[in-house]
Amino acid sequence: MARIGFIGLGNMGLPMAQNLLKAGHAVQGFDVSAAQAAKLTAAGGSAADSIKSAASGAEIVITMLPAGEHVRDVYLGAQGVLAAVGQGTLLIDSSTIDVASARAVAAAAEAKGLAMLDAPVSGGVGGAQAATLTFMVGGSAAAFDRAKPVLEKMGKTIVHAGGAGNGQAAKICNNMILGVSMIAVSEAFVLAEKLGLDAQKLFDISSKSSGQCWSMTSYCPVPGPVPTSPANRDYQAGFTAAMMLKDLKLAQDAAKAVGAKTPLGADAAKIYSQYVEGGEAGCDFSGIIRMVRDA
Ligand code: NAD
């Protein structure tokens, strides 16, 4: 069993670290919030008082942080991970961040002879708790092979997406599809309402026709057709509108950086931005149908 340093014990990181403990790994965790680190101790891990002490002596360091700036600070800072770890330590960042930061940090690690993977996830807090996350992994094949048995303790589907940054590329491309498709499904259900077509009837037809997609069949934005969707609990998140906006902005930044034209992705970012600014940041992203209806 491995000695693992885990940095960033928030909504996602804490249950992921707890699953590593359950699998028999030794986890030393750090979070700027001491209260979060204390929860790891309660689960059988140990709370480190700095990035350095979480990373020192670890065979693997995993980070689960809010955004690119945090990942750069935590890895590249004078008291950061790269300064603390010994040769042979495998570095895995599971945060959702911009592709450029992921590649920059991986390059800095490589310059020190350290293998690093970007391994963002989908599946949300529920998936983190149940160890059913999907990991999209960028980095070398050798590092991927080493990481896989550990990632399998936190997730169900582990995919090697290519070189450094490709995990992040996969994540933002997937979530751009999700944001656009949720708006499209919402528009269709609102149009159906106004045309006098029952939501369940539209679902019965479209879920078996060419309009079928995950936003409709697994996460339907109207109450009724999919009992587990947040629409049935007043759009309590799930996956918040703020998180969706974050990912859509990352996709737009990446598209600009490489000159890709993504007009629907840009519109989705604008629509979610309006929704979040309207005070719905903490609401589930499928709640966008309420704004579509009111427009
Ligand atoms: P969170 O805000 O709950 O957790 C982040 C944690 O990092 C916090 O506990 C914070 O105190 C800690 N932190 C911040 N800076 C730090 C530092 N310098 N050193 C140590 N700890 C630090 O966020 P989350 O929901 O756990 O999300 C983490 C990442 O996972 C994000 O990049 C997010 O986009 C991604 N993600 C989240 C979800 C979700 O449903 N919550 C789903 C998929 C991906």
Instruction: Please report, for the domain that includes residue 30, its CATH number.
Output: 3.40.50.720
Distance 9 CA to ligand 1 centre (A): 7
Q: Report the nearest-CA residue for atom 4 of ligand 1.
A: 10
Supply the residue whose CA is at minimum distance from atom 31 of ligand 1. 66
Q: Which residues of 149-158 are buried (b: 16+ CB within 10 A; e: fewer)?
A: ebbebbbeeb
Instruction: Tell which of 113, 132, 163 closes a domain.
Output: 163
Q: Any residues with CB less than 8 A from the CB of 294 and at least 6 apart, and which? A: none
For a substitution probing ligand 1, which of 12, 39, 219 has the most ligand atoms within 8 Å of its CB? 12
- Report the candidate in 122, 169, 131, 166 with the shortest Cα–Cα distance to residue 151: 131
Q: Which of 14, 18, 32 maximizes ligand 1 atoms within 8 Å of its Cβ, making it the mutation to test the pocket?
A: 32
How high is the pLDDT of residue 295? Answer: 86
- Determine the pLDDT at residue 201: 98
Whether residues 281 and 229 share a domain: the answer is: yes
Contact criterion met (CB below 8 Å) for 246 and 233: no
* Candidate list 22, 52, 156, 171, residue with the active-site label: 171
Nearest atom within ligand 1 for CA of residue 122: 43
List the residue whose alpha carbon is closest to atom 40 of ligand 1. 124
Grouping H, G, I as helix, E, B as strand and the rest as coil, residue 171 is helix
Q: What integer pLDDT is reported at residue 270 of this predicted model?
A: 98
User: In this structure, are 177 and 87 located in the same domain?
Assistant: no
What are the φ and ψ backbone dihedral angles of 62, each rounded to 5 degrees?
-120, 135
Does the annotation mark 171 as catalytic?
A: yes
- Are residues 17 and 35 located together in one domain of the fold? yes
Strand pairing class (115-118; 121-122):
unpaired
Q: Which domain range does residue 199 map to?
A: 169-294
- For residues 68 and 76, the answer to whether their CB atoms sit within 8 Å is no
Mark whether 198 and 138 lie in a shared domain.
no
Token pair 């993977």 in the structure block, residue: 117
Residues 221 and 145 in one domain: no
In terms of Cβ atoms closer than 10 Å to its own Cβ (0-12, 13-18, 19+), residue 232 is middle
What CATH number is associated with residue 202?
1.10.1040.10
Q: Which residues line ligand 1 (CB under 6 A)?
A: 7-13, 30-33, 36, 64-66, 70, 73-74, 95-96, 121-122, 124-125, 239, 243, 246
Query: Which residue's C-alpha comes closest to atom 7 of ligand 1?
Result: 8
Which of 140, 163, 186 terminates a domain? The answer is 163
Residues 16 and 159 in one domain: yes
CA 285 to chain centre: 14
Query: Do 149 and 179 reside in the same domain of the chain?
Result: no
Strand partners, 118: 93, 138
Query: Which run of H or of E encompasses 122?
Result: strand 121-122
**Vertex 127: Cα angle to 255 and 199 (nearest 5):** 75
> Which residue has a Cα nearest atom 25 of ligand 1?
11
Q: What pLDDT shows up at residue 242? A: 97
- 91/216 Cα distance (integer angstroms): 37
- Verify that 188 and 64 share a domain, yes or no: no
The reply to whether 18 and 113 lie within a common domain is yes
| pLDDT on residue 198 | 98
Judge if 157 and 222 occupy the same domain.
no
Looking at the structure of the chain, the number of domains it has is 2
Picking from 114, 146, 163, the residue at the C-terminal end of a domain is: 163
Residues 131 and 178 in one domain: no
95 shares its domain with 198: no
Walk along the chain (295 residues) and give the pLDDT tens digit of each residue: 899 999 999 999 999 999 999 999 999 999 999 999 999 999 999 999 999 999 999 999 999 999 999 999 999 999 999 999 999 999 999 999 999 999 999 999 999 999 999 999 998 888 999 999 999 999 999 999 999 999 999 999 999 999 999 999 999 999 999 999 999 999 999 999 999 999 999 999 999 999 999 999 999 999 999 999 999 999 999 899 999 999 999 999 999 999 999 999 999 999 999 999 999 999 999 999 999 999 8
pTM of the model: 0.95
User: What is the Å distance from ligand 1's center to 187 Cα?
Assistant: 31
